Amino acid sequence: MTTRELVWNAMFAADMSHRYFLSRAAWNKRVDDTVRVLLLVMSSAAWASLVALAPAAAPYLAFAAAVLASLTVIVRFHDHASTYATAAEEFNRILTGYRELWSDIDSYKVADDDAAERLRALKERSVIATRPLMKSRINARELMRCYEAARQVAGHA
């Protein structure tokens, strides 16, 4: 593959990664917010009045609240959202670097050796950006959605 083709492929992958990490950050933030609101409601006076109306359900509702509280501690949605947001932000900067490199290659402003060196540096930044997420599960359906979105943009470039 030529350096130009390698840059195009890496730019596409960075775009897809940026979209995916941004999407995962938003999902984790939504889940964290939802769980926190549920916990707030479950610990409020409204919760107490609901229990007063259905006292037989009180143990089940208390169990549900305990499970939700444990879930926030164990899964740490907020931390995941922050980690994904940081990765998305870094991949946005990396994508900008690829776009600048692509522009320089396209307008013959950079020699092939210099382009290869800049490509190597951007790929290294990509590896570093994904390290905190190495143990995270991949949502294949969301990744495919981000792939398709990046492909549509790439097709119009």
Which is it for the CA torsion 66, 69, 73, 76, positive or negative? positive
Tens digits of per-residue pLDDT, 60-89?
777 877 888 888 878 889 899 999 999 999
Give the start-to-end residue ranges of the domains of the chain. Answer: 14-155
Tens digits of per-residue pLDDT, 89-122?
999 999 999 999 999 999 999 998 999 999 999 9
For residue 24, give Cα distances in angstroms to 12, 27, 75, 86.
18, 5, 14, 11
